[in-house]
Amino acid sequence: MNVFRFIAQNRGEVLELTLQHLWLVGLSTIFAVAIGVPLGIIIARRSGLSKPVLAGANIIQTIPSLALFGFLLPLPWLGERADRLAILALTLYALLPIIRNTYTGIRGVDPAVVEAGRGMGLTDSQLLFQVQLPLALSVILSGVRVAVVISVGLATIAAAIGAGGLGEFIFRGLAMVNNQVILAGAIPAALLALSADVSVGWLERRLRPR
Amino acid sequence: MKADAAEPPAIAFREVSYAVAGVRILVELNLQVQRGETLVLLGRSGSGKTTTLKLVNRLLEPTSGEVQVNGLPQHDVIRLRRGIGYVIQDVGLFPHFNVERNIALVPKIEGWPEERIRARVQELLQMVGLEAGLAARYPHQLSGGQRQRVGVARALAADPGILLMDEPFGALDPLTRDELQREFLALQWRLHKTVVFVTHDLREALRLGTRIALLEAGRLVTLLSPEEFLRSSDPWASAYVRAFEDGPQAAFDRGKA
Q: Per-residue pLDDT tens for A113-170? A: 999 999 999 999 999 999 999 999 999 999 999 999 999 999 999 888 888 899 999 9
Q: Please tell me which residue, B242 or B32, carries the higher pLDDT value.
A: B32
Q: Per-residue pLDDT tens for A80-99? A: 788 899 999 999 999 999 99
Q: How confident is the model at residue B71, as a pLDDT?
A: 84
Q: How confident is the model at residue B72, as a pLDDT?
A: 80
> Across the interface, which of B91, B95, B109 has its CB nearest the CB of A126?
B109
| Residue B214 exposed, middle or buried by CB count within 10 Å (0-12, 13-18, 19+) | buried
The DSSP result for chain B, as a single string, is -PPPSSSPPSEEEEEEEEEETTEEEEEEEEEEE-TT-EEEEEE-TTSSHHHHHHHHTTSS--SEEEEEETTEE---HHHHHHTEEEEETT----TTS-HHHHHHHHHHHTT--HHHHHHHHHHHHHHTT--GGGGG--GGGS-HHHHHHHHHHHHHTT--SEEEEESTTTTS-HHHHHHHHHHHHHHHHHH--EEEEEES-HHHHHHH-SEEEEEETTEEEEEE-HHHHHH---HHHHHHHHHHHS-HHHHHHHHH-
Q: Please tell me which residue, B252 or A13, carries the higher pLDDT value.
A: A13
CB contact under 8 A, A130 and B91: no
CB contact under 8 A, B93 and A116: yes
By the 8 A CB rule, do B87 and B163 touch?
yes
pTM for this prediction = 0.86
Q: Per-residue pLDDT tens for B67-96? A: 999 888 777 999 999 999 999 998 999 999
**Percentage of chain B lying above the pLDDT 70 cut:** 96
Q: How confident is the model at residue B215, as a pLDDT?
A: 95
CA pair distance B74, A156, nearest whole angstrom: 60
Q: How confident is the model at residue A1, as a pLDDT?
A: 58
Average pLDDT on B5-14 reads 85
By the 8 A CB rule, do A109 and A50 touch?
no
CB contact under 8 A, B78 and A114: no
Q: Å from B58 to nearest chain A CA?
A: 8
Residue A209 has pLDDT above 80, yes or no: no
Which residues, including other chains, have CB under 8 Å from residue B48's CB and lie 6 or more apart? B18, B25, B26, B29, B215, B217, B218, B219
**Percentage of chain B lying above the pLDDT 90 cut:** 79
Q: Per-residue pLDDT tens for B221-246? A: 999 999 999 998 888 888 888 877 66
Q: How confident is the model at residue A82, as a pLDDT?
A: 85
Q: How confident is the model at residue A4, as a pLDDT?
A: 87
CA pair distance B157, B118, nearest whole angstrom: 11
pLDDT classification of B256: cutoffs 50, 70, 90: confident
CB contact under 8 A, B109 and A122: yes
- Closest Cα in chain B to A113: B92
CA pair distance B135, B125, nearest whole angstrom: 8
Which residues 72-131 of chain B have a CB within 8 Å of chain A? 77-84, 86, 88, 90-96, 105-106, 109
| ipTM exceeding 0.90, yes/no | no
Q: How confident is the model at residue B1, as a pLDDT?
A: 46
Q: How confident is the model at residue A54, as a pLDDT?
A: 94
Q: Per-residue pLDDT tens for A37-77? A: 999 999 999 888 999 999 999 999 888 888 888 888 888 88
- Closest Cα in chain B to A209: B96
- Show residues of chain B in contact with A134, CB under 8 Å: 96
Q: Per-residue pLDDT tens for B114-145? A: 999 999 999 999 999 999 999 999 999 999 99
Q: Per-residue pLDDT tens for B145-161? A: 999 999 999 999 999 99
CB contact under 8 A, A113 and B92: yes
By the 8 A CB rule, do B121 and B103 touch?
yes
Q: Å from B206 to nearest chain A CA?
A: 27
Mean per-residue pLDDT over chain B, rounded: 91
Of A167, A43, A160, A20, residue with least CA distance to A96: A43
